[in-house]
Amino acid sequence: MRMFDLSQWGNFALGDLTIIDLIAATTNAFNAALLARSPSHWRQYTAVGLLLLAVVGGIAGGVSRDVLLASVPVALTNPWYLLLCLLAALGAQRIRYRTGQQLRAGRVQVMAAFALPWYAVVGADKALAAHVPFIAAVLIGVISATAGRYVLDVTAGVTPQHFVRGEWFVGTAVLASTLYVVGAVGLGLSVWPATLVAVGIAFAFRLVALRRGWEEPEPWQPAEGRTSDAARSPS
């Protein structure tokens, strides 16, 4: 019977870029589930609500990327995306809140910093393959890396991290996408060398920014609009 034919349930193939994309999506889903439980984002979510937020946080970047490139989102054709994001969300739910926040501030924060440039590189690579202009390839790389956080912030009624002071969240995605385009097109590097150079530099920059507290400058701020650093949502 066709019901028992796995090919009818989706494409389970795992290529190099798909594996990279899955790592980024799963890490983002796990981090989204933890972030949704932080004081800045907690809105009395149900268990199902947290699962949905985590999955959306994991796949939103890839879905946005593919829609912009006029292709069916790979997260809807390859079941590994939904399965792994759900598993990541379930794992995050089973972690006690206090432990989860310690993880998010430590190892998971490093994992999220690691996922950010990978997602950007995959987005830029797919954009180049679609023969869009270089500036658009960089933009799609940024959207791929940051759309999940945007959806989570908006859902929680928090100003998206893209627009407020932080440790170069969007800047890291721009850096990774730009380096990949320069490496792949300008220097003629193949996929893996261009990817490793772009991810390595962007990941190192993001880590240093997080550790040293490097933040985007603000143009100016009226006295009545100032808030304490503690009121800002975490990166």
Q: What is the pLDDT of residues 162-207, one digit of tens each?
A: 998 888 999 999 999 999 999 999 999 988 899 999 999 999 999 9
Identify the pLDDT of residue 215: 85
DSSP 183: I
Of 200, 112, 106, the closest CA to residue 161 belongs to 112
Residue that has been written with the tokens 């984002």 in this structure: 41
> Looking at residue 46, what DSSP letter applies?
-
Cα(84)–Cα(18) distance, rounded to whole angstroms? 13
What average pLDDT does the segment 83-95 reach? 87
Of 67-76, 95-104, 110-119, give the range with the top mean pLDDT: 67-76
Structure tokens belonging to residue 64: 């946005």
| Alpha helix stretches (DSSP H) within the chain | 16-35, 47-68, 74-77, 79-93, 97-105, 107-129, 134-155, 169-181, 191-212
Give the mean model confidence (pLDDT) for residues 217-226: 66
Mean pLDDT for the chain? 85
* Most trustworthy range by pLDDT among 32-41, 88-97, 106-115, 226-235: 32-41
Split at pLDDT 50, 70, 90, the class of 107 is low
Give the pTM: 0.82
